[in-house]
Amino acid sequence: MNHIQMANVLPLLLLISIHSIVSAVSFKCTEAGKCIRRTDPPNNNTLFECQNACRLTCGRYGALWPKPTGSTIIKNGVVRLNPHNIRFEHQGTHGREYLDAINGIFLKNIASECEKKDCVVESDNEVIIEYSINVFDETLTWETDESYSLVISTLDKTTTVQISSHTLYGARHALETLSQLITVTNGPSTNFNNVLIIVSSAQIKDRPTYAHRGLLIDTARNFLPIADIERTLDGMGASKLNVFHWHATDTQSFPLEIVRVPQMTVFGAYSPDEIYTLSDVRHIVKYAKHRGIRVIMEIDAPSHAGNGWQWGPSHNLGNLSLCVNEQPWRSFCIQPPCGQLNPINSNVYEILRSIYIDLITSLASEETIHMGGDEVHFGCWNASTEIVDYLYNNGMGRTTDDFMKLWGDFQAASLRVWDEEKHISFSNSSSKPVILWSSHLTDPEHIDSYLNNERYIIQTWVPQTDSLPKKLLSKGYKLIMSTKDAWYFDHGFWGQTRYYTWKMAYKNRIPRDRNVLGGEACVWSELIDRNSIDERTWPRAAAVAERLWSDPDTDATIAEQRFYRHRERLVDRGVRAEAVTPRYCVLNEGECT
């Protein structure tokens, strides 16, 4: 061989040599459920070619996130998977559209990892997914049964997956779990090619602990394009969160199209390109449902309502909102810019009616609304001659109690308008409860005077040690809990707030009480936009997801390996989840604990 031939061969020999060294690394699952790196050659019994293959079946819960709450058996065996050889079977035509949608999402999710790693999918193995579902109604509420069972068995070259659930949403969750029992592996036994593998045998029974497992995204402080909301919903579906709380409006902007009142976006949107049309809303509702998620829209009032409401005088409707953009802002609101609805202007309620009509016809028919209701600033109303004169003419003064009554009257009138329009649109609809933030109006000392516990659900946002939730529960109120010193993901970037790690979010527990519907992580967007929404939200929101689905008694240390794998899974699916540990700690399980 001459020196020219040798020069051509050397790079190939070097590549083979390097590949052999890399391939000599294998992973062994220990009795403690950790995948430990080894230098032994991989084999099919005890050593795995890559960490993801080891993690797939290692430990009781393998790579599943959130971990199942029922019996879980994942046996140590895998078979190759060709995504083109997957067949879905379901008797009848009921639920066909929904099942077709979730089947497509499933195939896309397993393909996303394979595409990133340049898989070879040549295999004649077949996977048959069989559905057994009792109810095909797509209604999704706090009463929806989301339980499922999943059984995987393999005979010769056929793997059968039996999915049983009461509802379509249980089936969706089962399919998500199945996608997490699939991964990409490589190494000598696969001739150095990356291939998809699926667990050959498993039995899982699962149901969520809490009915409300939410994520609030604020799109009023900074506008988020639809694609960013879709990606957020993708992450939620992967983590089995089931409520997208859309904080759509605030004093900074009103980006939500109201067909009957176009002035709201003309005066309230940042630009014509930063508006959510009703078509956008309907699209998001459908996109979310296919991922097992409801959309609860929040129209914050009477506070947090400024820009978008300032056009009243020019249209002969009087002051719809007071103190809009007033300075010095600290005298009129909690956060600039200021703006607080005028509770004595009847036109305010007619505009709210128009807003509610558009939402009722755009959201799911069974859905309720979040009416906001926090941080009302009495200084704003007290600075208005219009309000002060009204109080005087009605035998009232300017005390805290007088302003509380004014606030209570506003809330009662808003609820009445919502009920009227909901009943007109859906004549058989009952008066379902709406949601309010905890505030002065929800103080246990006087909440009974203003808010009926059968009509209002209170979303608390107090610290972990605050006694408010316990007091409200004792009065019979249903709660959604957003613990602000664990689940507020905007914290740590302004003022004296602290950043909460995924372990801190995971550690936060809420009461197991029949009136605690569940909880929400909150992503307020004063300092967040499309360039940072993923990193601020993920993977910490997934830690909240396991807390709300499984409510495990163990601490975050036990969940580390599964959490790191889930973060990688989110990234593979296009979610830009931030890193939470050095790569070394991911590859060397348990060494950084």
CA of 148: how far to CAs of 26, 290, 291, 333, 586, in Å? 34, 16, 15, 48, 31
Interacting residues of 30 by C-beta distance below 8 A, sequence separation 6+:
36
Q: Read off φ and ψ for residue 2, nearest 5 degrees.
A: -80, 175
Q: Read off φ and ψ for residue 425, nearest 5 degrees.
A: -75, -35
Q: Read off φ and ψ for residue 511, nearest 5 degrees.
A: -60, 145
Catalytic residue among 130, 375, 535, 578: 375
Angle between helices 96-116 and 556-572 (to 10 degrees): 90
Residue pair 204/71 in contact by the 8 Å Cβ criterion: yes
Q: Is 375 a catalytic residue?
A: yes
Q: Is 367 a catalytic residue?
A: no
Catalytic residue among 173, 247, 304, 491: 304
Beta-bridge partners for 89: 130
Q: Is 560 a catalytic residue?
A: no
d(CA 34, CA 28): 8
Residue pair 291/236 in contact by the 8 Å Cβ criterion: yes
Instruction: Name residue, tokens 């802002």.
Output: 329
Residue pair 181/74 in contact by the 8 Å Cβ criterion: yes
Q: How many CA atoms lie within 13 A of 155 on its CB side?
A: 3
Distance of CA 253 to the CA centre of its chain: 23
Q: How many CB atoms lie within 10 A of CB 328?
A: 8
Q: Read off φ and ψ for residue 493, nearest 5 degrees.
A: -125, 0
In order, the DSSP letters of 51-109 are: HHHHHHHSSSSTT-SSPPSS-EEE-S-EEEE-GGGEEEE-SSSTTHHHHHHHHHHHHHH
Residue pair 537/523 in contact by the 8 Å Cβ criterion: yes
The H or E element that residue 203 is part of is strand 202-206
Residue pair 382/471 in contact by the 8 Å Cβ criterion: no
Beta strands in 281-347 (DSSP E): 294-301, 321-322, 340-341
Catalytic residue among 250, 257, 367, 402: 250
Residue pair 184/196 in contact by the 8 Å Cβ criterion: yes
CA of 425: how far to CAs of 201, 243, 284, 360, 366, in Å? 49, 23, 21, 8, 11
d(CA 525, CA 521): 13
Residues, the chain:
593
What residues act catalytically? 250, 304, 375
